[in-house]
Amino acid sequence: MRPGRTIRRGGLAAALLGCGAAVAAWGQAPPAPSSFSGTTQVLSIDVPVQVVRDGEPVRGLQAADFQVWEGRRRLAVTGFESLDLTMPSSAGPSSGRAAGVPAAARRHFLFLFDLAFSEPKSIARARQAAAGLLSQLHPTDLVAVATYSSLRGPQLVLGYTADRRQIDNALASLGLPDLTPRAIDPLRLVLQEMLGVGNTIAGVRPLSRDPLADAVDMATLTPMGEMTQGVARADLSALKTQVDLFTRSLSDLARQLAVVEGRKYLVFLSEGFDAELLQGVASPDRRDEMRENVLHGEIWRVGSEERYGVTETANAIERMIEEFRRADCTIQAVDIGGLRAGADQGAPRSGGRDSLLMMARGTGGELYESFNDLGVAMSQMLRRTSVTYVLAVEPEKGSDSDFHRLRVVLNSPPRGARLVHRPGYYPPKPYAQEDPIEKLLAAANQVMSGEESDGIGAAVLAAPFRSAGEKAYVPVLIAIDGPSLLAGPQPAALPVEIYAYALDEGGAVHDFFTQTVGLDLAKSGSPVRQSGLQFFGHVDLLPGDYSLRVLVRNGANGVSGLKVLPLRVPAFEQGEPLLLPPLLPAAPSNGLLVREEPRGEGAPPANLFLLRDQPFVPAVKPALAPGREVRIVLAGYNLGAGPWKGVATVVAAGGREIPVGNLAITGRLAGAAGGPDRAVATFRLPADLAPGDYEMRITLAGAAPRTSSLRFSVPRDPAKAGGGGAGR
């Protein structure tokens, strides 16, 4: 486990630093009551730091160059990583790949479109300006899309994702509720399906047109106009009410964003609200009139709020700005009123620019005006933040819920260098006290990070099978360890949340499934604790390479585990050979097997796992005894004619290979109706294998040798050896 995670609860590293926030801020229902169990074992804080000199990032710094202080106490730097987005290798093994980048080093952009203080036509052009920024972002950058209106508050349209297709789709449907597709993903990583040309799942198709392309059509703008409040025509009292609601909602939003690891940027696209509320009347004529009233002793004709502004509102805005600073979130304000031109200009809103400037400067951001291409406008900011150093520290555990400030300094700072770093942290709070959006963002953050965790032990087996369509049918078997799932006190009815996403190298989601399994522990607690829980789902994928990410979370206490499995789907129709993972029939057990709920795709295919002609359930991570003869099912496509010959190898920790010898392969059955060829093979494990985790590697000989593998374990107690189980 990487040392720089935010908090490890019961063995799980999870980013849960947000403080309490109003549930209604994102339009969510209150969470069902749940109990909390577990204690914080290690509090480890990731501190992203950017060092800038003369507008350019400073490169080449090491852990020894930094000091981190909490008050008067210097914290030891227990982990260090750096990310340079200008280097091809920074994105992983291949250019543009997001895998391997620590979550705390990734930039997170939340596009927040203000429907309350903006005209509909400005929103339409703001969407186009945002598209200009997307083209400038690095493949490791994550983007979320949200809207704000006085009627609904902040509404999360799309969670943080690297999937540019989903982002484009979220922008296309922006502000038009009747045309916005139904969100089918509880983590909001997928707004709607665009999973290959002409292919969808769950009956949802991409929009047939861009609803904002007709922004000059009043019939198109009317639904959006109904969401705006016409605050330009409101009096000072009504404006104060609107701004107070705005500051409360965005303060809640800032606290919810605190759970997201990494540098965060709120790209606030708005025309701003009238700054008269903060600095008094700005009109020269009205100021002259008030001055004359004062000089003639008619002070009752001049209200203090009209003359000096509303102190309570100014204080509320400052508190909101402080929440964003504490969340390590910079506001990059975009005056979208400046995007209008010619006949579209309309009546200017006085003071809107000043309110946007206050929000941006208060958090260390910038105000961008009159830029139709936001990528060009923000190019300097993107360049300045392209190098990030992540320092991991472990402060003392505290029971309070106050914000703890951090200070980062350089031992020998270059002349003129400026540091931008995470300003501090909130101590973790019980999972049951987090609101639904905090839980959503934390889970989505884990999935997108791709960093494995083991708070709940789990193992995953996935194998692509040819299907009638252009996509492969990929069954996904998840074996969940019972003791870690049920550790500590649990409610009688336990929700077990399961999330599985197949991402390509660019971070785009190609298919997913999610399901919450309700366990009645009075009936199933004992078998699950003894033999675990198995879940059978599937994804449909086009040929290509994927990262299959499976998150299992205890819905009562928040403990979770993430497994990442590389998966290749071959081009079956082009004769690409494939050897499926070795399949071992699972040993009979009293464990619980749950299948995914139907997605409305028609009848599932017949059982694909066959031993000769008998169906079986494969062991996901079998427990095997040393010296035991192992019988496996080999299956594959396009592996050539003639009998199969192969060898088995056991790979120990550290990559040490232990030769086992030739396989004894008995028979080969040709696949029927496009199914895989099958054979049964046996070999004997070495008798001196010590207890622990291993990899079984099978290689079939031929003109192009094919290799596949399966993880297995050797238990300390030989009596516990069998065909199935989930290793921890």
Tens-place pLDDT, residues 351-360: 578 889 889 9
Q: How far is CA 600 from CA 246, 538, 712, in A?
A: 41, 13, 35
Q: What is the pLDDT of residue 719?
A: 65
pLDDT tens digits for range 528-539: 999 999 999 999
19-30 tens-digit pLDDT: 333 333 343 333
Q: Does residue 654 carry a pLDDT above 90?
A: no
Round to whole Å and give the CA distance between 131 and 108: 16
Q: Closest by alpha carbon to 102, among 168, 163, 188, 44?
A: 44
Residue 350 sits at φ, ψ, to 5 deg, of -65, 135
Whole-number pLDDT of residue 128: 81
In this model, does residue 183 exceed pLDDT 70? no
- Phi and psi of 690, rounded to 5°? -80, 155
Quick check: 142 pLDDT over 90? yes
pLDDT band at 96 (very low <50, low <70, confident <90, very high): very low
Note whether 81 and 88 are within 8 A (CB): no
CA distances from 550 to 99, 232, 584, 613 (A): 15, 48, 21, 31
pLDDT at 458 over 80: yes
> How many beta carbons lie within 10 A of that of residue 262, not counting itself?
26
Kind plus residue range of the DSSP H or E element containing 356: helix 352-362
Q: How far apart are the first and last CA of the chain?
A: 13
Res 617 pLDDT > 90? no
Q: Two tokens at 363? A: 């958090």
Distance CA 359, CA 8 (A): 34
Collapsing DSSP to helix, strand or coil, 673 comes out as coil
Name which of 463, 474, 467 is nearest 673 in CA terms.
Answer: 467
For 342, phi then psi, to 5°, come to 60, -135
Backbone angles phi, psi at 280, to 5 degrees: 85, 180
* pLDDT for 370: 75
Which among 524, 536, 495, 535 has a CA at the least distance from the CA of 590? Answer: 524
How far is CA 473 from its chain centroid?
25
Q: Which two tokens mark 147?
A: 């809207």
Region 80-107: mean pLDDT is 67
Mean pLDDT of 31-42: 40
* HSE (side-chain half, CA atoms, 13 Å) at 642: 7
Between 77 and 196, whose confidence is greater? 77
Side by side, the strands of the sheet bearing 646-651 are: 657-662, 646-651, 692-700, 706-714
Name the token pair of 304.
């203090």
Sign of the CA dihedral running 578, 579, 585, 586: negative
- Give one DSSP letter per residue of 593-636, joined into a string: EEEPPP-SS-SPPPP--EETTEE-PBPSS-B--TT-EEEEEEEE
Question: Nearest CA to 302 among 319, 282, 321, 287?
Answer: 287
**Structure letter (DSSP) for residue 583:** B
What is the SS3 assignment for 35? coil
pLDDT digits (tens, 9 = 90+) for 281-338: 555 665 556 555 555 555 444 444 444 445 777 888 899 999 999 999 999 999 988 6
Domains recognised in the chain with CATH numbers? 105-278+309-385 (3.40.50.410), 436-720 (no CATH)
Mean pLDDT, residues 414-429 taken together = 89
Average pLDDT (546-573) is 95
**Predicted confidence band of residue 42 (pLDDT cuts 50, 70, 90):** low
> How many Å apart are CA 368 and CA 380, to the nearest integer?
12
The CA-CA-CA angle for residues 528, 531, 534, to 5°, reads: 75
pLDDT at 709 exceeding the cut of 90: yes
